[in-house]
Amino acid sequence: VAVTAKAVDVDSLAPPTTRVAPRVPEGAPVVPPQDLASRPRRNRRSATVREAFRETILTPSNFIYPIFVHDGEEDIPIDSMPGQSRLGWKTGMIDKVREARAAGVNQVVVFPKTPDNLKTETAEECFNPNGLAQRSISLLKDTFPDLEVYTDVALDPYNTMGHDGMVRSDGVVMNDETVYYLCKQAVSQARAGADVISPSDMMDGRVGAIREALDAEGFTNVAIMSYTAKYNSAYYGPFRDALASAPRPGSEDWKIPKDKAEYQMDPANYRECLREAALDEAEGADIMMVKPAGAYLDIIRALKDSTTLPISAYQVSGEYSMLKAASAAGYLNEKDAVLESLIAIKRAGADLTLSYYAVDAAKWLDEM
């Protein structure tokens, strides 16, 4: 028996509504729906859905704020890093950290601007118990007992030659002798109250030696965040301006390497980071860092996939200054570009991000 199809009144298949059907642009073609079982855009159709499915959540607890300190009262702006200053260790440092904590950033790393008259070829000032770094660490912990204080372990801020280690007359950076002083530096920082020691020098064997030195002095709870994959990058220029720590010109009598390629990693290398990571983990690192961050997202992911240790990444001074310059010129929306860059770093696998934007980013996140 033939059955005649009846016309269906579509409006009768749903309750009455005040919603108005959306209009399409005039001239839009009328086409049948594609035969698609899966349409990924369904999971991006509204702000609520997008937020529910968001895989990477950025929070102020992910940030470590790097601060530059100097042995003076007034803050000194850093021309190549707009918005950043060498902070007076007694005043500006405390004010800035208080601001950071109010925004939800409770982790800082301290970088001292050592006076030139205290710099030597062998950098003994690095372990002066009353040095600028040690005084700054102690004051921070006295003022904010629950603040997580990270330090920098390397000789370049204290070395007249501007290198992370002692330099021989033939231009070779001395490894084991440098490590001996790095251990003394690390212990002096732990005595001052540091929570996390961060060797940035890239000398061989320094993580194990520092772990042994800390444990021997009773600092078994002081952690080590190793600069595991620190590349010989062009992005460090503004930082070296801030600390006046760039390598110095050598002479016929005493050769000084023009860069740090002898001990920092080649930007062309990927597999080498896995070797460095295996060594650092075996020697007792608690956190492993990639530096810089933005141009090395593949390295962050490589370390993340190779270990169960937390991974940190350093959005370095050059990355910060580029974002600042592009934003000042009107080429980028600063807030959107910065937050996108920080999300990318975390998405790549970083549990912690060191960023000069940490405080601003925390405030922007609070506004969202």
Could you give the CA distance from residue 339 to residue 68 in angstroms, rounded to a whole number?
23
Quick one: which of 271, 300, 272, 270 has its CA closest to 288?
A: 300
pLDDT tens-digit profile of 324-366?
999 999 999 999 999 999 999 999 999 999 999 999 999 999 9
pLDDT of residue 183: 98
Distance of CA 187 to the CA centre of its chain: 24
Could you give the CA distance from residue 298 to residue 279 in angstroms, rounded to a whole number?
19
pLDDT of residue 155: 96
**Percentage helix, strand, coil for the chain under 3-state DSSP, each rounded to 5:** 40, 15, 45
pLDDT of residue 296: 98
Active-site residues, by number, are 230, 291
| Burial of 28: CB neighbours in 10 Å, binned 0-12, 13-18, 19+ | exposed
Could you give the CA distance from residue 282 to residue 307 in angstroms, rounded to a whole number?
11
- 3-class state of residue 294 by DSSP: helix
pLDDT of residue 248: 85
Q: What's the pTM value of the predicted model, to 2 decimals? A: 0.92
Q: Could you list the pLDDT tens digit for every one of the 368 residues in the chain?
A: 555 555 556 667 889 999 998 999 999 999 999 999 999 999 999 999 999 999 999 999 999 999 999 999 999 999 999 999 999 999 999 999 999 999 999 999 999 999 999 999 999 999 999 999 999 999 999 999 999 999 999 999 999 999 999 999 999 999 999 999 999 999 999 999 999 999 999 999 999 999 999 999 999 999 999 999 999 999 999 988 888 878 888 888 899 999 999 999 999 999 999 999 999 999 999 999 999 999 999 999 999 999 999 999 999 999 999 999 999 999 999 999 999 999 999 999 999 999 999 999 999 999 98
